[in-house]
Amino acid sequence: MNKRFEGKIVAITGGSEGIGLATAKAFIAEGARVYITGRRQDRLDAAVAELGEAAVGIQGDVANLGDLDRLYDRIRQDHGKLDVLFANAGTADSDSLPLDDITEQDFERIFGVNVRGLLFSVQKALPLLGAGSAVVLNGSVAGSKGFPGQSLYNATKAAVRSFARSWTADLKERGIRVNVVAPGGTETQLMRGYLDTRPGAEEMFNQLIPLGRMGRTEEVADAVLFLASSQGSYIAGAELVVDGGLVAV
């Protein structure tokens, strides 16, 4: 296998399951040392055990700035630098949340993780990121679509897309590339739980997707690694959609 990340230091927020965990596996397979975060210590411990010696788990929530400081302090102490940041951590409501029903608490919770948490995940990493480093933000096709009952989540992912554009302009002189990976429906544990409790939902999703199936976490991971690697060296401020053609068709 091509070792595109041999000797590289990678941080992944929300890396204890789903897309984050699959991406951590992919980076490690290509030679990286990976630091992952997760809110639940038990899941984080299980993920590190699965990933092996090349992984370090730091318990924390991206909505807590002190937890982010602990992550980057550890990386600074261990290596003094960071080559790739995958700002992956995010949250969503499993149930519909129509405009009439949105509360202040709903807003603070979803924007607190998906926008505020992501912003400070990147800002606090900047002292460790040098020329040639890469930041990949986890967006969503929801940033381009008006899915009903999900306006808060949709809006947070539109903000993520905008961040990539603005931060590319902000960081161009430092040689730090920023891009977005935008998954569609992806076969994660959270998504599987949603589908299994709603008869007919999976069939409906598959009918909407031109390729006729949900995405796999490994497929999203491949896109992240491409954007973070030298193969993506001339890609900046872009959104790579991984959705089986849902948005385009």
Residue 157 located in a structural domain: yes
In a domain, 165, yes or no: yes
Dump pLDDT digits (tens) for 126-161. 999 999 999 999 999 999 888 888 899 999 999 999
Helical residues (DSSP H) of 14-97, grouped into ranges: 18-29, 41-51, 65-78
- pLDDT of 57 > 80? The answer is yes
Range of the domain at 127: 9-242
| Domain-embedded: residue 249 | no
Query: 55: phi > 0 → left, psi -120 to 50 → alpha, else beta; which?
Result: beta
Active-site position among 35, 72, 153, 194: 153
Q: Is residue 87 part of a domain?
A: yes
* Helix, strand and coil percent figures for the chain, each rounded to 5: 50, 20, 35
pTM over 0.85: yes
Q: Tell whether 2 is covered by a domain.
A: no
- Asked whether residue 3 is domain-assigned, the answer is no
Q: Is residue 65 part of a domain?
A: yes
- Read off the pLDDT of each residue in 198-217 and give the average, rounded to a whole number: 91
Report the domain count for the chain: 1
Give the span between the Cα atoms of 158 and 155, in whole angstroms.
5
Closest by Cα among 193, 171, 56 to 125: 171
- Annotated catalytic residue 153: yes
What is the pLDDT, as a whole number, of residue 54?
A: 98
Q: What is the CATH number of the domain that holds 89?
A: 3.40.50.720
- Round to whole Å and give the CA distance between 118 and 21: 17
- Residue 244 gets the label, from left (phi > 0), alpha (psi -120 to 50) or beta, of left
